[in-house]
Amino acid sequence: MNKLKKVIIPASFIALSIALYSCSKSSTEDTTVTPSTGTATTGVSITSVVKSKYMSAVTISTSDNSITLKSNGTPDHVSPYWGTGAALYETPYTGQNLNPGKIATQNYSMTLPTNPTEASTKEATVLGPIGMALNGVPIYNDREGGNVPVDSGVLSAFDRAGAHPGPSNTYHYHCTGDFTGNDNANLIGFLRDGFPIYARKDADGTYPSNLDANGGHVGTTADFSTPIYHYHASNTAYLGSRFYLLKTGSYFGTKGTFTN
Ligand SMILES: [Zn+2]
Ligand SMILES: [Zn+2]
């Protein structure tokens, strides 16, 4: 194989070149981020961002075409669902109606494509883990048991993180919250199709106005200087609550596995 040293790449081939040489790194990246739209939805490697942004509680391993993330699913922040006496326990906020669950250790494993691509047929997300936040807690969509939308009763059980435990004490995020991202441009995690999910804003501080039916669009982010498809949390307060749903609709790409 030829050794590549200095290569000048036409701009139109930047996305392709990153796909082919994803192991090479530029040390002189411009840190000024201007969200832009484009068509380079595929061929962007997520490996370096996954490795640098996931917290140490998440174990990362890579193979040729996939990345596997393992976590125990417990959050790094306070919640009433830790239970009284736990180090990270906090009392419920006024009006919160705790469900009977608790935060308990799980054995999660999520596998992502290294270079996520758009699926020709978009698969709807369903009840259960659809992604993993940077701290290893699963991300769920807008569904609850019976695959029905989260209702106001369920909402009232959410902690300040927009989360609650499900059956078998599987704590998970449905919404934005005080610890992952909310009215900002925080990277929240990655969904099972390998595309990143951000909070309500883009990197320039504006609210995206061109999200598709799956809650995403193509553009640069603070983490990706090459335009990439990425999801955003909803910018509509869900059922008039303090919470904003993280995800509705379908996967843009093809989902990988998520096991417990
Ligand atoms: Zn739930
Ligand atoms: Zn965006």
Looking at the CA of 211, name the nearest ligand: 2
pLDDT band at 42 (very low <50, low <70, confident <90, very high): low
3-state secondary structure 220-233: CCCCCCCCEEEEEC
Looking at the CA of 146, name the nearest ligand: 1
Q: How far is the CA of 218 from the centre of ligand 2 (A)?
A: 7
Q: How far is the CA of 201 from the centre of ligand 2 (A)?
A: 7
In angstroms, the CA 197 to CA 139 distance is 10
Q: How far is the CA of 13 from the centre of ligand 1 (A)?
A: 42
Q: How far is the CA of 172 from the centre of ligand 1 (A)?
A: 6
In angstroms, the CA 195 to CA 55 distance is 18
pLDDT in tens, 224-241: 999 999 999 999 999 999
Q: Which residues surround ligand 2, an ion (CB under 5 A)?
A: 202, 208, 219
What are 71's two structure tokens? 């976590």
CB 231 within 8 A of CB 196: yes
Give the residue-averaged pLDDT of 195-216.
97
Closest to 123 (Cα-Cα) out of 251, 11, 4, 258? 251
pLDDT in tens, 142-157: 999 888 999 999 999 9
Q: How far is the CA of 251 from the centre of ligand 1 (A)?
A: 18
Q: How far is the CA of 174 from the centre of ligand 1 (A)?
A: 6
Give yes or no for residue 245 having a pLDDT over 80. Answer: yes
Q: How far is the CA of 21 from the centre of ligand 2 (A)?
A: 25
* pLDDT (0 to 100) of residue 5: 43
Q: How far is the CA of 69 from the centre of ligand 2 (A)?
A: 24
What is the longest distance spanned by two Cα atoms in the chain?
65
Looking at the CA of 187, name the nearest ligand: 2
Closest to 225 (Cα-Cα) out of 65, 74, 27? 27
Q: How far is the CA of 73 from the centre of ligand 2 (A)?
A: 26
* pLDDT (0 to 100) of residue 10: 43
CA end-to-end distance (rounded Å), the chain? 41
Pairing of strands 131-133, 196-198: unpaired
Give the residue-averaged pLDDT of 187-210.
97
CB 148 within 8 A of CB 154: no
Stated pTM of the model: 0.84
List, in sequence order, every beta strand (DSSP E) within 77-120: 108-113
Q: How far is the CA of 229 from the centre of ligand 1 (A)?
A: 26
pLDDT averaged over every residue in the chain: 87
CB 227 within 8 A of CB 219: yes
Looking at the CA of 199, name the nearest ligand: 2
